[in-house]
Structure 1
Amino acid sequence: MADKLLKLYKKDLSLLHIMFKKMKWQGFKRSIIFLVSCIILIILIKYNFKSEWSNISFISLIMCFLVSLRDLTLERDRIIESDNNGKNYYQVRIEGLRKFLRNESIDTDPKKIELLIKLVEKQAEEQKVSFFVGRGILLTVLLPIISATYTNILNKYTDDLTTVLIIFSILLIVILCIFIYATLFRFIYDDFINGDYQRYKTIANDLRELHFKLI
């Protein structure tokens, strides 16, 4: 049954399925347009008005972040209200778990749920080593690459901050595209960010929540 729950949490009760797949990414056009506009404005100020641009660029990037955060918050609220019938991610997940237990005819039996919790925790312990080793390998590979790229850019373009800004803006857009790709195809999200170990721990915590309400 633990395997069934894992498959359920991977597919129907994942953050990807409950929230990300329902996002309308065209709603973020405003954020992208704002970012591009800020970059153009910074370049124009620097080269046409010979003005100090560092403070303006910093404020502009902060504004870009705030606009993106606002768009993300509005989209999250839209999904909760329109697509999830007013339920947030946690509430939808608990509702799905309760439905699963009801189908298995153990939703009203505290002892069986307690046994299931122990089984899930045992499965989590078996996944614990691979969970941390996998993330250690990922960090070992990514950190030197990121560090080397950052150092190389700064050393090469230290005197041209506009170029640095453009490069890092491009990197930011690339990272955003990778994130969107990952949420659509589930590879990075499922295998690296939220592995089986973490899923089992989440399942155990949700089962405890339901078990607590029964006793």
Structure 2
Amino acid sequence: MNTTIGQRVAIVTGGSRGIGRAIAERLASDGLAVVIAYGNNTDEADKTVDGIAAKGGWAIAVKADVSDEDAVNELFDKAEKEYGGVDVVVNSAGIMILDTVANFDLTKLDRMHRTNIRGTFVVNQRAARRVRSGGAIINLSTSVKKLAFPTYAAYAASKGAVDAISLVLAKELRGRDITVNAVAPGPTATELFLEGKDAETIDRLAKMNPIERLGRPEDIAEVVSFIAGPARWVNGQTIYANGGMV
């Protein structure tokens, strides 16, 4: 499948649902060809591709475990074969498991960190080797690092690693004209975030920022669109997209 001459190409991991899907849809609407990497939910990935295609965009879905370097290599191979190269990589894949430090199941800790830390490292390593000049690498972090909510220690720690990887890689790519940034959403109305929360909790979280609403996936996608495209002078930053919560 060939894109139009000069069309930029994006890989979005975790692109089948939630914030990742909104990012994939926004980049497609910006004119990029999008490769949606997903873990298990083929139906949702296909729906995302079909939705983009229905609006005249370019997209394919590729199943890939972000913590598996061979699978990520194949993901980049597929993007290059289908569209000719890779210009933007958005690593939105991640899992969130909550419990207190005292009670946290260490097996679950290892599973979460394998995706959130190793997965981020693997995707960024391959992106550093294969993204074209003028490109952008963007990792999804979290505002909860600053908020320090109880039960979020393990998740926040994994996202602190995401920030570190992003900011160091930005300096390591000196001279390549490739930007690297992290985007740290606040509470955002996704299925993952809303699961298990009662209406009172959701309302309380919504009012913690001056705008007094939860974020929408489209809000985060807007920030990603900016640093994936025109914002070439924003580099080596963690951008907090949370309505002014912190």
- Answer whether TM exceeds 0.5 for this pair: no
Higher helix share: 1
TM-score, with length taken from structure 2: 0.24
Higher strand share: 2
Larger Rg: 1
Higher RCO (C-alpha 8 Å, min separation 6): 1
TM-score, with length taken from structure 1: 0.26
